Structure formats: structure tokens, C-alpha cells
């Protein structure tokens, strides 16, 4: 995969961007159907699925296959796999790596008492539940150049009583800062199908703000941030250091350029082929139709 990824990273760099990659292990959420197929739960073995693994034999929901509990040796293999992926990412030309420890994927599964009911050194207490995430980050930081950013994505809360919570997130962020993490990407949820999440514009920014202030580390925030003025307010009021955009960029890939225009920056450089369309106020002429 390295050679094809190098073509992508070279192109991103040539356009003035910085290529980044997110590394994750799905854990008990693995072996599922593509979302757009309209099917829920795990893919059956006879249909090409496989046995998922996790910290404990607890399925995400009744439609998912219960995972096989990882052994101690297999946990060490997971750490090694993250390291190998990081080394491949570096050779492929990526300049930012983000370790995904959120949204109910494997590292989050170890963090949350809802999915982790182990009784060994990787379960039960807070110190034990954060052990794998810390070990992965420590190992990755050793092979990822010090001058290149390392992010970690976390779910600040499970939105479920007795689940992973903001207090634990703040303390985990402190530990990650000490291991050389540059920024915490703060999201929420994903480990419980029964979570009641009060979604709304900027509903997760308060978690990023708390981590930023109490853990003294840079944070990014995400979730229903759709308007330039809204994003600018989050940054100027110190709620976060970076705005992460996902679905809004799918809707409008040129959102940052429009935002620059809306906020009066006038610093953005549009591709030459798009310059005639940079302003929404530009009228359409007959010559445009011929073009």
C-alpha cells in the first residue's frame, strides 16, 4: 500500500496541504457491513466475515458477534501492529499521525468499563484500563519523528452512567502529554448503543475546552460545526486550538475557502480553474455557458 499512498501524499503536499493519517483497530466493531448497504451488525463467517476481538467477551449490541477476549500476548501484538503501521505511514509520506482511541474502537473498548471487564493488568481499575492506550502511544512516539505531530483521538464521555467520563479523559490527556502527544482530538460516544447523546451545534466543544485548560495540552474539537463564524468563535474563546471538519467538508470541499471569504480574510488561494467562481456574487455570463 505504500507506493499508492505516496502518490496521494505527494499530491497533497504539492497543493500546499499537510497529509495526515488516522490509525485504528476496530476491535469488537470489526467485521461489519458497509454502512451504505443498509445492513446492521456483524458479517457472518460464511459471507466473508471474521471473528472480532476485544478486551472482554461483550458484544457491542445483539446484532454484533461477541468478540474473543485478547490474550496478553495478542495485546502485545496489537501494540506492535500500531508501531508497524506508523513506520509504514512515515515511509508513505504522511506528516501527521493520529491514534484513534475513540468511538468504541479497540483502544476505547479498553478504556471504558462498559466494554472492559478484565481482571488482569489491562482491566478493572483506571490505571489498568488506560494501560494499552499509553503503551501504544509510547511505542508509536519512539518511531514517529519528534518534529512531526502526534494526535490522539478520544471520546470524552460514553454518555452512559458508570461509563468512561470527562474526569478520566482529563487525566488520560495529562498522561498522554507526558508521552509526547501534541494534541488531543476530543469527540464523544461510540461504545454504547443505548447512549442518549444531546447532539446540537458545538455540543462537544465544552469537553475540548476542559481538556485544554485542565490537562494543559492543545485540543481539537468536532461535531456539528458548520458555520465559519461558529468555528471562529470556538477558536477565539479558547475552547479549542483546531477545528476538525468531517461531514461539512463532504458537503462542501471548499468550505475553508468560503470561510476565509466570509470572515474577511481574503488570504485563500483558489485553484486557477476555480478562480472565476470564487465569489458567490459573480454573475453567470453567456461566455461561461460556452466554456
**pLDDT band, residue 281 (cuts 50/70/90):** low
pLDDT, residue 289, reads 44
Sorted by where each begins, the domain ranges of the chain are 2-251
Q: What is the pLDDT of residues 221-280, one digit of tens each?
A: 999 999 999 999 999 999 999 999 999 999 998 899 889 888 987 777 777 887 777 765
Per-residue pLDDT at 94 exceeds 60: yes
The CATH code belonging to domain 2-251 is: 3.20.20.70
Q: Cell numbers at residue 156, please?
A: 470524552
CA dist list (Å): 54 to 29, 115, 191: 9, 8, 12
- CA-to-CA dists, residue 11 to 4, 253, 267, 268, angstroms: 11, 16, 22, 19
d(CA 79, CA 137): 9
Res. 291: pLDDT tops 70: no
Residue 272's pLDDT is what? 82
- Strand-by-strand arrangement of the 183-187 sheet: 20-23, 96-101, 150-155, 183-187, 218-221, 242-243
Residue 77: half-sphere exposure toward Cβ, Cα within 13 Å: 6
The HSE-up count of residue 272 (CA atoms within 13 Å, CB side) is: 0
C-alpha cell at 101: 482511541
pLDDT in tens, 154-202: 999 999 999 999 999 999 999 999 999 999 999 999 999 999 999 999 9
| Catalytic status, residue 203 | no
Among candidate residues 105, 122, 254, 274, the one labeled active-site is: 105
d(CA 2, CA 136): 22
Helix (H) or strand (E) holding 170: helix 166-178
Q: Which residues 6+ apart lie within 8 Å of 244 measured at CB?
A: 185, 220, 221, 222
* Residue scoring higher pLDDT (263 or 71): 71
Amino acid at each position: 500500500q505504500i507506493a499508492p499512498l505516496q502518490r496521494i501524499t505527494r499530491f497533497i503536499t504539492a497543493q500546499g496541504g499537510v497529509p495526515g493519517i488516522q490509525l485504528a483497530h476496530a476491535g469488537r466493531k470489526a467485521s461489519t457491513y458497509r454502512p451504505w448497504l443498509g445492513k446492521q451488525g456483524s458479517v457472518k463467517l460464511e459471507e466473508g466475515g471474521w471473528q472480532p476481538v476485544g478486551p472482554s467477551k461483550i458484544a457491542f449490541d445483539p446484532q454484533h458477534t461477541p468478540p474473543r477476549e485478547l490474550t496478553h500476548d495478542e495485546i502485545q501484538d496489537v501494540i506492535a501492529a500500531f508501531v508497524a503501521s506508523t513506520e509504514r505511514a512515515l515511509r508513505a509520506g504522511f506528516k501527521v499521525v493520529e491514534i484513534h482511541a475513540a468511538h468504541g474502537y479497540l483502544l476505547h473498548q479498553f478504556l471504558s468499563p462498559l466494554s472492559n471487564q478484565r481482571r488482569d493488568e489491562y482491566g478493572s481499575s483506571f490505571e489498568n484500563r488506560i494501560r494499552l492506550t499509553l503503551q501504544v502511544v509510547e511505542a508509536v512516539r519512539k518511531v514517529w519523528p519528534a518534529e512531526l505531530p502526534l494526535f490522539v483521538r478520544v471520546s470524552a464521555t460514553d454518555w452512559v452512567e458508570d461509563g468512561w467520563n470527562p474526569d478520566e479523559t482529563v487525566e488520560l490527556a495529562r498522561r498522554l502529554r507526558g508521552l509526547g502527544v501534541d494534541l488531543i482530538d476530543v469527540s464523544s460516544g461510540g461504545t454504547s448503543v443505548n447512549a442518549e447523546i444531546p447532539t446540537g451545534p458545538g455540543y462537544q466543544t465544552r469537553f475540548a475546552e476542559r481538556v485544554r485548560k485542565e490537562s494543559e495540552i492543545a485540543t481539537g474539537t468536532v461535531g456539528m460545526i458548520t458555520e465559519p463564524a461558529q468555528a471562529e468563535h470556538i477558536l477565539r474563546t479558547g475552547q479549542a486550538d483546531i477545528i476538525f471538519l468531517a461531514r461539512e467538508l463532504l458537503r462542501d470541499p471548499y468550505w475553508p475557502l468560503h470561510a476565509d471569504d466570509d470572515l474577511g480574510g481574503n488570504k485563500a488561494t483558489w485553484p486557477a480553474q476555480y478562480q472565476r467562481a470564487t465569489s458567490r456574487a459573480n454573475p453567470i455570463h453567456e461566455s461561461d455557458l460556452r466554456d
